[in-house]
Amino acid sequence: MNEYDGEELGVRFRLSPPFHIQSRKFIARSAELQQCFACWGIDGETKIMIDDLPPLNFRLEGPPGVGKNEIVYELARQLDRPLYVIQGHEELTPEDLALVLVPDAEESASGAMRFSYNASPLVTALRKGALFFFDEINRVPERTLAPLASVLDERRRIYSALVARDIAPPDELKRGSFRFCCAMNPEGAARGALPEYIDERTLPVIRIDYLPVEDLIAVLENKLVPPKELLDAFRKWYEEEAKTQLSTRQATTLVQYAMAVSRQKKASSLDTIRTASAQVGVKRKGDEAAEDPDEEQSDLEESAQ
Ligand SMILES: Nc1ncnc2c1ncn2[C@@H]1O[C@H](COP(=O)(O)OP(=O)(O)OP(=O)(O)O)[C@@H](O)[C@H]1O
Ligand SMILES: [Mg+2]
């Protein structure tokens, strides 16, 4: 059902639906969660908002697949509050952060083409005083981030060039309960550093690293329920043979693939994990040759002959 807002600003816009958060068992990361709650001025135990200090717009940084999104979802789960999300990408425009004009399906049925305004998840979160998450914020072109500056400081408003209006929370209560966070992988290709004025407004950085093996195993057990033998083989392989640390996503794909393969073919669990790891692109200890791109290339050429 559509929900509208903005009449008192002289523009009627349709609000975004909140992000659908799957119910899922969240494993470990209690120190990181506590840091996030502290930034947002929320008591980690009682989940009560302490509003003697303005909340901080923290930034989660870490390699791909380690669970940055899942942490934000868990915050929303624990707070039992709606979350609004924008996924950053190269084509995102400043209007996508505020209001966009869209054809109005209901009204155009009468024959005449009508348009209406859709509020972005960010505008919706500001108006509702809700939680907001800007994912992959460093993939966004710099000019798109400009209107964000006024959201991230005490002004708490965003300028919509489309309707030439500032949009802010409707009252002090909503203003006080709005919370912002963002995430990025600082090392990835095609992702730049943030412009300084956004960088400064999205601090502190909360670093999210690879899960220790025990926690990784707990995620796998919970998510995939693999046979014990396969999980033991994964642990052995990870501790003794894997050359790099695995993200939660990589480990899940590897073990899921190993489970699928072992249904079809009888091999030892450790061999299955080894084969799957190669296909999931994880280097093993002793795979020195693969580190030299020239040698890797000549290996490929040899095997192609
Ligand atoms: N602590 C955790 N408990 C349970 N599941 C987790 C946990 N951390 C990550 N996962 C699972 O691992 C997968 C990858 O996590 P997520 O998408 O949050 O990573 P990410 O760091 O945001 O990745 P990317 O950098 O690619 O956006 C997801 O399926 C997620 O549900
Ligand atoms: Mg992510």
**Domains of the chain: which residue ranges?**
4-207, 213-303
Ligand 1, atom 10: nearest CA belongs to which residue? Answer: 67
Q: Within 13 Å and on the Cβ side, how many CA atoms surround 105?
A: 3
**How far is the C-alpha of 290 from the C-alpha of 302, rounded, in Å?**
14
**How far is the C-alpha of 89 from the C-alpha of 123, rounded, in Å?**
18
Q: How far is the CA of 38 from the centre of ligand 2 (A)?
A: 21
Report whether pLDDT(250) > 90.
yes
| Cis geometry, peptide bond prior to residue 226 (ω within 30 degrees of 0) | no
pLDDT digits (tens, 9 = 90+) for 130-180: 999 999 999 999 999 999 999 999 999 999 999 999 999 999 999 999 999
pLDDT, mean of residues 175-186: 96
pLDDT digits (tens, 9 = 90+) for 209-228: 999 999 999 999 999 999 99
Ligand index nearest the alpha carbon of residue 208:
1
Ligand index nearest the alpha carbon of residue 134:
2
Ligand index nearest the alpha carbon of residue 72:
1
pLDDT of residue 114: 87
Q: How far is the CA of 106 from the centre of ligand 1 (A)?
A: 38
Q: How far is the CA of 47 from the centre of ligand 2 (A)?
A: 24
Place of tokens 């400043």: 94
Hey, CA dihedral for 164, 168, 170, 172, is it positive or negative?
negative
Residues around the ion ligand 2 (C-beta < 5 A)? 68-69
CATH architecture for segment(s) 4-207: 3-Layer(aba) Sandwich (3.40)
Cβ(185)–Cβ(61) below 8 Å: yes
> Which of 227, 224, 225, 238 minimizes the C-alpha distance to 273?
238
Buried b or exposed e, range 204-224, using 16+ CB within 10 angstroms: eebebebbebeebbebbeebb
| Beta-carbon contacts of residue 183 (< 8 Å; ≥ 6 apart) | 59, 60, 61, 68, 69, 72, 133, 134, 135, 136, 137
Ligand 1, atom 8: nearest CA belongs to which residue? Answer: 67
Report whether pLDDT(190) > 90.
no
